[in-house]
Amino acid sequence: MLEARNLRNMVQAQTPLLGHENTPLHTSVNGGTGFDGATPRHSVAFTPNPLATPMRRSGAGLDPSTTPRTEAGGAAGSVASATPLRDNLSINTGTNDDGFSIGVGDTPREAQLRTNAAKRALKVGFSALPRPLNDFEVEMPEGEEADVVDGRVVAVEDAAERDARLNRQKEEEERRALARRSFAVQQGLPRLVNVDVADLLQRLKVDQSESGVERSIDVEFVRLLEHDSIAHPLPGTSRPGSTQSSYEHPDDAAVAAVRSLVHDELARSLGFPDGRSMTEDQVKQGLSLAVKEEDVDLSELGGWAKTRAGLVYDAQRRVWVERGTLSEEQRVAGLAALLQEERDAMTGHAAKSAKLEKKTGVMLAGYQTRSTALAKRLADAFAELQAQSVDLYCFQRLATNEGAVGPLRVSSLEEEVERLQTRERMLQMRYAELEADRKDISARLREKEERLMDEAEAANEAALAAMEG
C-alpha cells in the first residue's frame, strides 16, 4: 500500500521546471517495504558504516555481529569473511584544511601522518624536476634580411605609412584622371548624346586631302566628343555599356606646356610681358575688364539661346541641325517626333505618378484618415471659436454700455428708494397717530359702555324693587 501511494504521488506531481518541491515519499519504520521492484525482496542488505564498524586486523576477539574492515596488504590472520573497504573512487575519503585527502575512519594522528607523507612525496617530485636554464636566443626569420643601400641599413616601412603612401598615390591618380577630362564633362555643359564622326567631319567641312593645323584641331575635337559620349554617356545613348573608347589622352606634360603657352599669350595680349607671374584668375579678371572697356555687346556675339532658335530636329538622324539643311517635310517630321517623345514621356510620367500615388495612398491611408478627422475637429473648433468670439464681443459691448448707463440707473434707483423711505416714514407716523386715536376712541367707548351697563343694571334693580314692593 505504501509503494502504491508513492507511485500515485509521483505520477500526479507537477513538473520540476515549475520550481515545486519533490514529492514526499512514505516509508515504513524499518526503512523499506521490500516491494520497491518487480520482485519482492526477502532480505534487506545494509551498507556497512565504517565509523560504526570496529577496525580489526586480527581475528582475535572478533564480534560475530560486526563486519570487520580489511585493507589491501593487511596483516595475516584477518578474517576471511570480512568485507574490505574499497576506496578506489575516493568515496570514503575527505580533505583536511591543507587540501590533502584523509580516510573516513582515520584518527587525527593517522590523518596527520598521511598528510605529512603526501607533502614529502610532493616535495620529492618537485625536486626531481629539471631546473630552468634561462638561456634564450633570438633568431631572425629566414628570407627577411634588412635592405642595405649605399652601405646603410634601410628600415622596413611601417604598414600604416605604406597604406598612407598608397592612399596618397591613389588620390593623386584620381585627381590626374579627373584633370584629363574635358571641360564640358567637368563643368556639366551640354554634350552630344550620340556622336557620328563622319557626319561631324562632313559638317565641319574637313577634307581628307586637307592638311594643316585646322584639320588636326577639327579631327581632335571630333575624337574628343566621341570619347566623352562613350566614357561618360548621357541618358538616351545608343551605345552599349561595354563599348570601349580608342581615344588616347595626350601626355600630361604636353598638355601643361600647351596651357602655359596659352596663358602667356593671353597675358601678353593684356599688356603683361611676363605672363608667368600672373595666375589664371588674374588673367580671367583682365579679360573681363578688357571686354568692359571695349564695350562689346555680348548679345551680338551670339549664345546658346540665339543658336538654339536657329536649330531644328532631324528625326532621321536624331540630331539638331541648322534650319536651312532640312526641307519643310523633314522639319515637320522632326517636330512630330519631338511631340511624340513628349507624349510618351508624359504617359510614362503619368503611369509612374499613378503608381506612386497608389503606393503612397496605401502607406499613408492611416495618416489621411487621421488628417481628415483632425481637419473636421479643427473646423468645428474654429466655428465654435467664431461663435464664442461673437458672444465675447457682444458681452464686451454690453459691459461698456452698462458701465456708462449703470451709474445713472443706480442714482435714479437710490432717489426712488429715498423717496419711498420718506413716504414710508410719513405713513408710519400717520399710522401711529391713527392707532393712538383708535385706542383713545376704544377706551372712551369701553367707559361709555360700562357706564351704560351700570345705568341699565341700576334701572333693572329699581324696576325689580318696584315690582317687589
CA distance 359 to 365: 10
Do β-strands 311-314 and 152-154 pair in parallel, antiparallel, or remain unpaired? Answer: unpaired
CA distance 401 to 408: 12
Number of H helices, E strands in the chain: 11, 6
pLDDT in tens, 364-382: 989 989 999 999 999 999 9
Residue partners of 183: CB distance under 8 A and separation at least 6: 189
Section 6-28 average pLDDT? 74
Domain map (residue ranges) of the chain: 1-34
Give the number of other Cβ atoms within 10 Å of residue 332's Cβ. Answer: 13
What DSSP state is assigned to residue 312?
E
Cα–chain-centroid distance for residue 433?
Answer: 100
Q: Which residue has the higher pLDDT, 98 or 191?
A: 191
pLDDT in tens, 108-132: 888 888 889 999 998 888 888 887 7
pLDDT number for residue 147 = 58
Q: Report helix, strand or coil for 320.
A: strand
Task: Identify which of 23-37, 46-60, 426-440 has the greatest average pLDDT.
Answer: 426-440
pLDDT number for residue 430 = 94
| pTM as predicted | 0.38
Q: Report helix, strand or coil for 43.
A: coil
E strand map for 323-400:
none
Beta-bridge partner residues of 321:
312
| Burial track 428-437 (b if 16+ CB lie within 10 A, e otherwise) | eeeeeeeeee
Least confident piece of the model among 153-162, 187-196, 313-322, 383-392: 153-162
E strand map for 59-199:
93-95, 101-103, 147-149, 152-154
- For 92, list phi and psi in degrees, rounded to 5: -100, 30
C-alpha cell at 398: 454690453
CA dihedral 149, 151, 152, 157 (to 10 degrees): 20
Place of cell 585646322: 214
pLDDT number for residue 105 = 57
CA distance 289 to 278: 15
Residue partners of 24: CB distance under 8 A and separation at least 6: 9
CB-side neighbour CA atoms (13 Å) of 222? 17
pLDDT number for residue 82 = 43
